[in-house]
Chains A and B, each alone.
Chain A
Amino acid sequence: MKKLFRLVSVIVSSLALLLVLTACGSKPLADQNVVTRAKQSNTITWGVKADTKLFGLMDVKNSQIKGFEVDMAKALTKQILGPKGKADFVQVTSSTRMPLLKNGNIDAIMATMTITPERLKQVDFSRSYFDAGQSLLVKNGSPIKNVKDLNKNGATVLGVVGSNSVQNVAKFAPKAKVLQLSDYAQAMTALKSGQGEALTTDNGILAGMSVENPGYHLAGGAFTKEPYGIAINKNQPEFKHDLNHALTKVEQSGQYNRILKKWFGNVPGLNYKEMER
């Protein structure tokens, strides 16, 4: 009993120490003015996905992340810092991106992040840079043409745990059964093995999957609106203004459409012209 007590007290005191250490330190990075810091170091650090085809995917040959969001981030950096500005990239996932932004490891998140009211409570968003929408991925020759076809007993839709897309399915096709898998690769595997009729998530991500898996295509177009925005810390009005301004410039110069065409130009079932700006 005495030993147990000693163990508990050691754990408690070490936790307390950890808490004190994290609370100390100078002004947190996340509260410093990003624009001033970026201009000093001539660098903006972006959090991007490294596992999402077409948006941000690690190229194993030269270990560089490539994709639509990476190209956009580079273009925006050049608009904000001038032609010599440098864009640094840090890999994030859906669960690590918020903490990394909050503790100042990255200046902005550009990682297929939908602007939602809940997230707006935690972070600020730029204007939307990509008009995603939820869609379906089905096998070629599948009788499912749109989300209404799934609204019948016995239909199974595959999704990923923690995405709002599974909740949307309950709204648009309440009779369908939803299987939530742990990530997109697993969901794709389940679709291939016939565990469900369709896979649902944002069309941009599905586009990447259909490019990688010939024989599967997007069906029915987007049935929700999921605008992707660049997330930044709150209390950075200057950075937000600069980002929106840079985004407008990139759109007006036609660079946006060029990047869009480069990545989404030949995806079966996705009309990139609808997304042009």
Chain B
Amino acid sequence: MIAIFHNYGSLLLQGFGQTLLCSVIALVFSLIIGSMFAIFETTPIKALRVIARIYIEVFRNIPLLVITMFFFVVIPMFITKINGFTAGTIGLTIYTSAFIAETVRSGIQSVDPGQMEGARANGLSFWQAMRYIVLPQAFRYVIPPLGNQFINLVKNSSVLAFVAGFDLMYQGNVIASDSLNTMSTYICIGILYLIITLPLSYWMRYLEKKLA
């Protein structure tokens, strides 16, 4: 195992960096897109609700690999050339955002309707009430399930390996086939994933304690 770190250190480091970069980008954007669709789902405007419903149901129920392969294969054929990393990150963002939308929606709906009504009665618009009254409470409720989604996101980033995104898993496959030392390689890869996910999970727990 030490030999793996020693001989393939630069590959592992590159993979680690790519996985981290992909995870951060996907995390930020899936949180934004997911929250947007969660709000759409709870608006009184029917058209937005329908759009959100379709988006969530489609992307939540298609395997991540299929979405990613779509961006890797189909988009370059017709629209523009994108590399494996971009395709993987886009796929991961869309896929995770559908789950985050559902999580945040459950948070919004668990906020007592009286809060919204009270805010509206005090003259706030729907968006103002959402922004200042409902969402802050909703996010507090959904921190634990959101943490789950984030950890899943990091692990799901291994989908990049299938579209040659040079992430940890990809480098792991390359190193395993090059060194013929499959077990040690994947143990190393597992440890590197833990280095990303463990702090994330502790940070989520800390947030939960601080905000709850």
Contacts and interface: CB of A to CB of B under 8 A. Distances in A.
Contact of A161 (B76, B77, B173): B173
Interface residues of B, number: 18
Tell me if B's interface is mostly helix, strand, loop or mixed. helix
A181 B173 CA distance: 10
A181 B162 CA distance: 6
A193 B164 contact: no
Given A180-B164, A193-B76, 13 more contacts: A118-B180, A162-B173, A180-B173, A180-B174, A181-B164, A182-B173, A190-B72, A190-B73, A192-B77, A193-B74, A194-B81, A195-B81, A195-B164
Interface string B149-172: 000000000000111100000100
B164 A179 contact: yes
B14 interface: no
A165 to B, nearest CB: 12
How many A residues touch the partner, as a band?
10 to 19
Contacts of A194: 76-77, 81
A186 B69 CA distance: 10
A189 interface: yes
A167 B177 CA distance: 11
Contacts of A182: 161-162, 173
Interface in B104-145: none
Contact of A193 (B72, B174, B177, B180): B72
Interface in B44-103: 72-74, 76-77, 81, 83-84
Tell me if A's interface is mostly helix, strand, loop or mixed. mixed
Contacts of B84: 179, 195
Interface of B: 72-74, 76-77, 81, 83-84, 161-164, 170, 173-174, 177-178, 180
B85 to A, nearest CB: 11
B63 to A, nearest CB: 15
B10 to A, nearest CB: 14
Nearest to A195: B76
B125 to A, nearest CB: 46
B34 to A, nearest CB: 28
Contacts of B174: 161, 180
Contacts of A190: 72-73, 164
A193 B173 contact: no
Q: Please list the 9 inter-chain residue pairs (A to B) with the smallest Cβ-Cβ separation, ordered nearest first.
A: A162-B177, A179-B164, A193-B73, A193-B76, A161-B173, A193-B77, A194-B76, A189-B73, A161-B177
Nearest to B165: A179
A180 B169 CA distance: 12
A44 B76 CA distance: 48
A192 B77 CA distance: 8
B185 to A, nearest CB: 12
Contacts of B180: 118
